Amino acid sequence: MHRTTGYLVGFVITPIAILMASEAIVRIAAPDDLTRHIGNEEMIDRRTASTIHVNRPGFSGQLWEKEVTIDENGLRVSGDSSGSFRVLLTGDSVVFGAGVDDSDAPGALLQSLVPDSIRVINGAVIGYATDHVLAYLREFGDKLNPDFVILGYCLNDAAPFDVDVVPDAQTLREKYGFAEWLNVRLRRNSLLFLWLKDKLKAYRFRHGYPVHRALFNGESWQRNQTALLGISEWCKRRGVPLLIAVFPHRDQLLQDDEFDFAPQDSLAAFGRRTGIDVVDLRQALSPEDFLWNDPLHLDRRGIRKSVSAIWEFLKSRLKAESRTRNG
């Protein structure tokens, strides 16, 4: 009996001891690839009053070894402008400009291209999916008061809503289940968990496009279309034009054989069906140039090419609206 009890105790304690030792080793070693997670946590404001995470107002520091500055409104700085026409950039880490300095982020580069009468606002937040963007507009959009909204869309944005913050732990468990509650708790408290998750993400990046392409089938894509329609409806109620700028996955352009652009085709068809402007940025990014920091995030050259294509589309749209008003 005592021997059986000892085996059971050992069976329980040994894995716990191994996990604790592994956590300690990771914390002591502090590998470089954990700095992005630590930086994210410092920059992100996980407020108990909101169901979405936002940029921490007033943050200034390093993120992924690049200079990042967040203003008092939680927006990444985009340069000085007193323009009265406000263009809001929104989306995830690609639109935020993760992996580049403030001056090379999409907001700052677009600001450098537009006339002085236009002010660019970068409201993108790392980790956002389309559902997050809709929730962000509903909560902060009227305060930002944009005259034009540009949604930067990446292929992983069709993923289900991954809530980072809800009012309290009990609500998190009740609304999203134990697995999501545990996921959030571990992300906040365990570097070992973040390290393992980062390795899994790296594997998914290496095999990334098929994973993201699969999101455009079935429930995820249906749910995503609902969120996109919600964003469109928010804009329409305020008389604000909406542009969806679709960023390609690196693997779509770097394969030797002709790769599948089914997600872009689905988004283009959605745009035609709903009357939403959709611009496909794959034409702006040459497969001969290596323009990515990883399969999703562009480097500063890739961002510059993409932003230039967005500005050309925006410029033609603004001219057409001006002719309509004056005509």
CATH architecture of 58-165+201-326: 3-Layer(aba) Sandwich (3.40)
User: How far is Cα 70 from Cα 40, in angstroms, rounded to an integer?
Assistant: 13
The domain spans of the chain are 58-165+201-326
Predicted pLDDT of residue 97: 95
Predicted pLDDT of residue 100: 94
Predicted pLDDT of residue 2: 55
Residues 6+ apart with CB under 8 A from 312: none
Q: End-to-end CA distance of the chain: give it in Å, rounded.
A: 92
Query: Are the beta carbons of 223 and 132 closer than 8 angstroms?
Result: no
H-run or E-run covering 148: strand 148-153
User: How far is Cα 221 from Cα 23, in angstroms, rounded to an integer?
Assistant: 37
Collapsed DSSP state (helix, strand, coil) of residue 143: helix
Please spell the DSSP secondary structure of 159-203, one letter per residue.
SPP-----S-HHHHHHHHHHHHHHHHHHHHH-HHHHHHHHHHHHH
User: How far is Cα 4 from Cα 21, in angstroms, rounded to an integer?
Assistant: 25
Low-confidence residues in the chain, pLDDT < 50: 33-39, 48, 162-169, 172, 257
Predicted pLDDT of residue 275: 96
Predicted pLDDT of residue 231: 97
Predicted pLDDT of residue 180: 60
